[in-house]
Amino acid sequence: MSWRADVITLFPDLFPGPLGASVIGRGLGEGLWSLQTTQLRDFATDRHRTVDDTPAGGGPGMVLKPDILAAAIDAVTPLDDARPRLLMSPRGVPLSQAKVRELAAGPGAVIVCGRFEGVDQRVIEARKLEEISIGDYVLAGGEVAAMVLIEAVVRLIPGVLGAADSHADESFENGLLEYPQYTRPQTFEGRDIPAELISGNHAGVEKWRREASKALTRARRPDLLK
């Protein structure tokens, strides 16, 4: 069975967007993974298709209603559905490559795209939504964040990228940032490809890459070395 993503959103027309292009889109077309969107407003119970209300206790903005969102979640997740339920939220746990690998090894995910000031806490608790953040900043909604998560996961599914080892040396896969990459021409605007990379010495190439990864990580992400 292919990896299945169900996305609950107020803007289903945004999908597949970039997920329909390049190798990710090809994998979608070949059935290596699947994407289904659900319009949250379809579960509203009034003629205005209302999905939000003012925050309890006052304050700016609006909050997604728990009963409407719960109905949408229940509609796409049968009782025997083992997929995790994720809520894209700036207050969530930061998305990591380890989490991406965990999701890629599973059957898929149900992803809720937050909007407005957030989601009623009661539906987060009642439907066991796991809050995920893609960075320390705030977007207008969770749709772009959901696309980021899906692409990060889907590219690890066997067959999507082609070569099985094509992502083995990438940033975060081994706890370090990826080493710098080079290609022809050998000289570009007075800058040469490092001699070690064109020496033909495979051990020397691996040593250079390992040391370059450590140096780059130390300079840009020293937290990873801890």
Q: Report pLDDT digits (tens) over 67-120.
A: 999 999 999 999 899 999 999 999 999 999 999 999 999 999 999 999 988 999
Task: Write down the pLDDT at residue 169.
Answer: 63
Of 88, 79, 75, residue with least CA distance to 150: 88
Find how far residue 109's CA is from the centre of its chain: 11
Write down the architecture of domain 3-154 according to CATH. 3-Layer(aba) Sandwich (3.40)
Domain range list for the chain = 3-154, 169-226
CA atoms within 13 A on the CB side of 175: 5
CA–CA dist 4, 152 (Å, integer): 14
**Which residues, given as ranges, of the chain have pLDDT below 50?**
none
Task: Write down the pLDDT at residue 1.
Answer: 72
Task: Write down the pLDDT at residue 172.
Answer: 76
169-226 sits in which CATH class?
A: mainly alpha
Task: Write down the pLDDT at residue 219.
Answer: 97
CA–CA dist 110, 76 (Å, integer): 8
- Residue 38 · residue 76 · CB < 8 Å: yes
- Residue 101 · residue 107 · CB < 8 Å: no
Which strand (E) or helix (H) includes residue 99?
A: helix 97-104
Three-state secondary structure string covering 87-117: EEEEEEEECCHHHHHHHHCCCEEEEEECECC
Determine if the peptide bond prior to 55 is cis (ω within 30°): no
